[in-house]
Structure 1
Amino acid sequence: MRVGGGAGTAARHIVWDWNGTLLDDNDAVVAAVNAVCAEFGRDPIDLEHWRTVFSRPLQQCYERLLERPLTEADWNKLDVLYHEHYRELLHTARLAPGVPDELHSWSAAGRTQSLLSMWFHDELVPLITELELLPLFERVDGLRTEVGGGAKAEHLDHHLTAQRLRPADVVLIGDVLDDALAADKVGTGCVLVTTGVMSRSALEPAGVPVVDSIPDALALITDELAA
């Protein structure tokens, strides 16, 4: 199965997702979700349970988790609570296995990469700067709104346009179905990794390659370039 965006074209630029892809933040995510559960009177869950219910739109996901409809006030309260607890634990998150070495290898081969995240831009940039990742990316885009941010496809389209990239030359690497939907809508390739908040069984219906690590994803793309 080809991962390049266009027929007969292998991807030479990677757009990376952040949370759950380059950043292993699963423990912080589950802890923040459990803070929400406690506030709304639900028993705590583990990562495997969260993977069974996670989906977008997030409000519907939380309604299934909490087994109740959420008013606008509920949703705003939940959103603030989740992010407060997540931020408190963000320092415990680690880079995914293979990061940054695999990214350095990709750049050393004369290829390019960028970062597109739905995490808040004004927090993302200082974090990747502290982790000494910023020089690896041609461009970094995070979420520039306080809550939500719409479909990822809109952000991906803007991200590519700003870099004057052809979708056929690009592959998006992410960890959720929304990444595959965005790639399909914009016309890029896509590889999904099982390192985040969705299981392999949930990812495979997207019809794109699903692998278990960053090194596996890059090996798949590199093999296609060499073919």
Structure 2
Amino acid sequence: MGQDAIAPPNGITHIVWDWNGTLLDDNHANLAALNQVCAEFGRAPVELEYWRAVFRRPLLACYEELFGRPLADEEWARLNQTYDRHYSSLLPSCRLADGALQVLTSWTGRGRTQSLLSMAAHRHLEPLITERGLTRHFTRVDGRRHDGAHDSKAEHLVQHLEAQGISPSTVALIGDIDDDARAAREAGAHAVLVATGLMSRARLEATGHPVADSAAEAVAMLGD
């Protein structure tokens, strides 16, 4: 059952962008990496729409449900290594989401600020943003620098905003899964979700937060 609908926020002066599935169009790379993991663990491959219907954080619980059994620590480590290796091999084929660059440029041109926060490992994320020439758009770029207790973006968002001295009430987090909405709520920020990543529109709408079909539409929901 969905939560009561939350109106699009007003008075937003700072956007915190998610990366995978939001600014980066990488569903095909995620699915290919997932199915390589499935092959190694003796599970039949899955289709994207199935994965969008079941994907969630914490990731360990999600994968244990996918395989129908608990995963030992060494299996979990091997799973992540396999996934990361195959995903990384496909990164060159991943383009920015449609209109993403224009949206980043336009928001800055309106005299407002934006930053990037991803649950991808920081050591992998930072050079990727630099290589794509995107650093200039962001006041700060943070990937996952440590593993949190609950495998959620929430504590990372709090730290991300505190490091910049930004009031959460002026912030909209734009992301593609329900954990982005949860993170914004726990941090005291707002959220707009985009139905372009690893979670279906129906599941995003169930959070009660506004849902857009693109990054550009998400920003348009923030008003003037």
TM range (shorter): over 0.9
Q: Say whether the 8 Å CA contact 2:58–2:152 is kept in structure 1.
A: no
Report the counterpart of residue 7 of structure 2 in structure 1.
2
Given that 1:3 and 1:171 are in contact with CA atoms closer than 8 Å, whether structure 2 keeps it comes out as no
Change (3 A) 1:25 1:148: farther
Partner of 2:36: 35
Moved beyond 4 Å, runs of 4+: 146-149
Task: Tell me how far 1:90 sits from its aligned partner.
Answer: 1.0
Cα offset for 1:99?
1.4
1:189 aligned to 2:190?
Answer: yes
Q: Give the distance between the partners of 1:63 and 1:146, measured in 2 at CA.
A: 19
- In structure 2, the partner of 1:58 is 59
CA change 1:149–1:127 in 2 (3 A) is farther
Distance 2:24 2:80 in 1: 21
RMSD: 1.6
Q: What is the percentage of aligned positions where both structures have the same residue?
A: 53
- Matching residue of 1:212: 213
Q: Deviations over 1:18-56 (max 9, x none)?
A: 011000110000000001100011111121111111011
Whether the 8 Å CA contact 2:148–2:155 is kept in 1: the answer is no
The alpha-carbon deviation at position 138 of structure 1 amounts to 0.5
Secondary structure of the corresponding residue to residue 70 of structure 2: coil
Q: Give the whole-Å Cα distance in 1 for the aligned partners of 2:173 and 2:185.
A: 10
Alignment of 1:64-143 (within 5 A): 64-143=65-144
Superposition TM-score, scaled by structure 2 size: 0.93
In structure 1, stretches of 5+ residues that fail to align are none
Gaps of 5+ in 2: 1-5
Larger mean CA deviation between 22-31 and 143-152 belongs to 143-152
State the Cα distance separating 1:146 from its structure 2 match. 7.6
Inter-partner Cα distance in structure 1 for 2:149 and 2:124? 15
For residues 12 and 103 of structure 1, do their structure 2 counterparts lie closer, same or farther at Cα, with a shift above 3 Å needed? same
* One-letter identity of the residue aligned with 1:86: Y
Could you say if the C-alpha distance between residues 26 and 153 of structure 1 is closer, same or farther in structure 2, counting changes exceeding 3 Å?
Answer: same
Where 1:142 maps in the other structure, the secondary structure is strand
| Kept after mapping to 1: 8 A contact 2:58/2:151 | no
Contact 1:118 1:149 in 2 (8 A): no
Alignment check: 8 A CA contact 2:119 2:144 kept: yes
d(CA) in 2 for partners of 1:120, 1:56: 16
CA distance, structure 1, for counterparts of residue 18 and residue 147 of structure 2: 19
Hey, what's the Cα distance between the residues in 1 that align with 2:148 and 2:207? 26
- Cα pair 1:114 1:138 within 8 Å, conserved: yes
